[in-house]
Amino acid sequence: MATEKSQVYHERQRLQFCLLHSLNSLFQQKDAFSRASLNAISERLALDGSNSGTTTWTPLSVLFKPHHNSLTGNYDINVLIGALEEKGKSVVWHDRRNTASSIDLDVPEDILMGIVINVSVRRFAGIWKSRHWIALRKIDGVWYNLDSDLAAPQRFRDAQEVREFLDFTIGHGGEVLLVMNGKQS
Catalytic residues: 18, 132
Q: Is 173 left (phi over 0), alpha (psi -120 to 50) or beta?
A: left
Q: How far apart are alpha carbons 140 and 72 in whole angstroms? A: 33
Laid out side by side, the sheet with 175-181 consists of: 89-93, 175-181, 112-123, 128-139, 142-145, 154-155
Phi, psi dihedrals of residue 35, rounded to the nearest 5°: -60, -40
Q: Which long-range contacts (CB under 8 A, 24 or more apart) does 154-163 make?
A: 159/105, 159/106, 162/100, 162/105, 162/136, 163/99, 163/100, 163/101, 163/103, 163/105
